Amino acid sequence: MKILFPLVFTVIFFLQLYPLQAQFDPDSLELKISRIVREYVDTNKAGMVVGVIRNDGSNNLSRRFSYGHIRKDTNSPRPDSLTIFHIGSVTKTFTATILSQLIQQGGPLDLNDLVEDHIPLNTVKAPYFINISGDTIKMRLIDLATHFSALPDDPIQPVNDSTTYQMMYHYLNNHNLHRPPGECFLYSNLGISFLGVVLSHTTGKIIDSLFIQRLSDPLGMPDTRITLTPQQEQRRATGYGPNGDSVGYFKNSWPAFYAAGGLYTSLKDFMKYLEFNMGLTNSGMKNVLDSAQKIRRVNNDTCSKPNSTARVGLVWQMAELFPETQLNFYYTWKDGGVPGFSSFICFASDTAGNVKSGVSMIVNQSIPCGKLAVEILKYLNSDMIVSSEQNFTEVPVNHLLSQNYPNPFNPVTKINFTVAQNLSNGKENVTMKVFDISGKEIATLINESKPAGNYSVEFDGTDLPSGVYYYSLAIGDYKETKSMILLK
């Protein structure tokens, strides 16, 4: 078994918590967002549209905001909810959702299927890796969908301002993997484009049609298309580079990479897509969303960060919204960018507070906007920070073992625990062990003395089979055991 070593302990003392910030106030939302995005818009002279949703069970707040202009000319109109933008790699989440549909409907696809079983073999081959023992390691659908395929990002040089499917097939047919699939997160436009080939071959439909028939039309998103009508072309914002120069309309990767970044949309449509992924209007596809957004692997960044807290589902990525705290509160996100445009979508669900929140953002300039969107999402969840500050400013008086998160997990999970202050104000001997369902000890995560405080430890079950495991905390006379589920 592989235990993360050195173990990642995050000790957060109570006087060093994330600074207390203003509690969320719907009446101040427009002012708060304007302050967050003003510097970006004023500096880059770009147009920006922002959609915000916050649902607490009884109240559903949904707002749209726009800034800047659809062209560099400040006399041009401000973008509105029907202005068309290119969303780039957010397209990948559409591809992942269709994959989830084809899995959840009972086949013909399964995440553990070999890629070679679902492609036109007389046309294209799935690259594979041969290890030093001579074993052949083949990529699976889950490898493509989680960026663990070991395929490079954008390796194909366009010809005549285009990348054809034949060019992509030629590259794949002659490519040898340099590492085994399933080992490392390596973001790959080629990998998701290859996944699009799988979907097209399985359904007998081109990816353009799949997007429309399976998502855009059912969700009521008429402006979410790869190919725009003449009327939609008139509503398209002009794209600008980082220096403010017009860059025209990007097409170097098309049509081969449509599944990885070909979609256009409007803020009106993007808000509907956000609502759908937040589970507010799931159109009968809750199981599809659960599958697509389920944590599948650790985003270990080409295996360089095995202790990373970042996660990945089917294309969707997950990160801690307030990493400075011990809240372990994750949000789900995807960014997109092509020359001239940048986009970001993110959302979170606070089950304890019964709050669902999300942000969609698009700009017509190729400068990433994700940090701004996340700042807005933090504000939508700022009540959580206020509550945390109020609850944990006192020295703890009771030992506590928390439920691991995420649970079920694959393959890494985080376990939080509290060591209470003892009578002598000294240290307590703390041990934490992991057992399998038969009671066999799997690992000792902690065995040392610790002062009062909140702590966190990560457990990696990479080399363990799926199943139920138990983790037990002992602090003096205090003993507590909880179960956790490893699901691969």
Are 250 and 110 contained in the same domain? Answer: yes
Token couple for 141: 């659908």
Residue the block writes with tokens 């109109």:
77
How crowded is residue 73: how many other Cβ atoms within 10 Å of its Cβ? 10
CA atoms within 13 A on the CB side of 445: 24
Query: Would you say how long the chain is, in residues?
Result: 488
Could you tell me if 272 and 306 lie in one domain?
yes
Q: Would the pLDDT of 402 be above 90?
A: no
- Asked, for residue 207, whether it belongs to a domain, the answer is yes
Q: What percent of the chain is predicted at pLDDT more than 70?
A: 91
Collapse the DSSP code of 104 into the 3-class scheme (helix H, G, I; strand E, B; otherwise coil) and give the result.
helix
SS3 content of the chain, % helix, strand, coil (to 5): 25, 25, 45
Of 385, 407, 430, the residue that ends a domain is 385
Considering only 93-107, 327-341, 376-390, 429-443, which range has the smallest mean pLDDT? 376-390
Distance CA 295, CA 409 (A): 7
Tell me the pLDDT tens digit for each residue of 361-394: 999 999 999 999 999 999 999 887 654 444 444 4
Residue 242 lies in a domain: yes
Please tell me whether residues 372 and 482 are part of one structural domain: no
User: In terms of Cα–Cα distance, which of 278, 206, 367 is closest to 52?
Assistant: 278
DSSP letters, 394-435, are SPP-S-EEPPPBSSSBSSEEEEEEEE---TTS--EEEEEEEE
Q: What is the CATH classification number for the domain harbouring 468?
A: 2.60.40.2550
Biggest CA-to-CA distance, the chain: 77
Structure-token pair, residue 212: 């429309």
242 and 162 in a common domain: yes
- 142 with 204, same domain? yes
Quote the CA–CA distance of 398 and 405 in Å, as a whole number: 21
Buried residues in 447-469 as b, exposed as e (16+ CB within 10 A):
eeebebbbbbbbbbbbebeeeeb
Indicate the residue type of 11: V
Please indicate, yes or no, if residue 24 is contained in any of the structural domains: no
Q: Choose the final residue of a domain: 358, 385, 412.
A: 385
Sheet strands side by side (includes 412-419): 400-401, 412-419, 453-460
For residue 253, what are the CA distances in angstroms to 65, 155, 164, 245, 283? 31, 11, 8, 21, 32
pLDDT at 347: 98
* Enclosing domain of residue 355: 85-385
Preceding omega of 323 cis (within 30 degrees of 0):
no
Indicate whether 336 and 420 sit together in one domain: no
Residue 285: which CATH number? Answer: 3.40.710.10
Beta pairing partners, 318:
311, 332
Alpha-carbon distance of 257 to 389, in angstroms, equals 46
Work out the average pLDDT over 29-43.
85
**Is the same domain home to 291 and 405?**
no
Closest residue by Cα to residue 312 from 151, 147, 92? 147
Amino acid letter, 5: F
Residues 450 and 477 reside in one and the same domain: yes
Does residue 397 share a domain with residue 378?
no
The model's pLDDT over 435-463, given as tens digits with 9 standing for 90+, comes to 998 889 999 999 988 888 788 888 988 88
pLDDT tens per residue, range 217-251: 999 999 999 999 999 999 999 999 988 899 988 88
Q: What are phi and psi of 239, to 5 degrees?
A: -90, 140
Assess if residue 67 is contained within a domain: no
CA distances, 168 to each of 123, 129, 197, 213, 391 (Å): 11, 19, 10, 25, 55
> What stretch of H or E contains 276?
helix 267-277
Neighbours of 407 (CB within 10 A): 16
| Two tokens, residue 312 | 């990945």
Spatial CA neighbour of 380 closest among 321, 292, 320:
321
Could you give phi then psi for residue 106, rounded to 5 degrees? Answer: 95, 20
Tell me the pTM.
0.77
246 located within any domain: yes
Amino acid at 274: L
Residue 444 backbone dihedrals phi, psi, to 5 degrees: -105, 110
Q: Among 2-16, 264-278, 346-360, 403-417, which is the least confidently predicted range?
A: 2-16
User: Could you tell me if residue 136 is inside a domain?
Assistant: yes
Same domain, residue pair 342 and 433: no
Per-residue confidence (pLDDT) for residue 2, from 0 to 100? 32
Please check whether residues 247 and 136 belong to one and the same domain.
Answer: yes
Is the domain of 363 the same as that of 480?
Answer: no
C-beta separation of 419 from 430 below 8 A: yes
The b/e string for 158-187 (b: 16+ C-beta within 10 A; e otherwise) is: beeeebebeebbebbeebebeebbbebbbb
Q: Is residue 126 part of a domain?
A: yes
Domain-located, residue 69? no
Q: Is the pLDDT of residue 358 over 90?
A: yes
Q: Is residue 15 pLDDT above 60, yes or no?
A: no
Q: Three-state DSSP class for 356?
A: strand
Residue type at 104?
A: Q
Residue 105: its pLDDT value, please?
83
Displacement of CA 321 from its chain's centroid (Å): 12
- In this structure, how many other beta carbons lie within 10 angstroms of the beta carbon of residue 424? 7
Residue 222's φ and ψ, nearest 5 degrees, are -70, -20
Cross-strand bridge partners of residue 428: 450
**Alpha helix ranges (H) inside 141-266:** 141-145, 165-173, 189-203, 207-211, 230-234, 258-261
How far, in Å, CA of 299 to CA of 320, rounded?
A: 13
State how far the Cα of 385 lies from the Cα of 21, in Å rounded to an integer: 7
Which of 329, 358, 385 delimits the end of a domain?
385
Residues 6+ apart with CB under 8 A from 129: 136, 137, 150, 176, 177, 178, 179, 180, 181
Least confident range from 160-164, 173-177, 185-189, 405-409: namely 405-409
The confidence band for 16, taking pLDDT boundaries of 50, 70 and 90, is: very low
Total domain count for the chain?
2
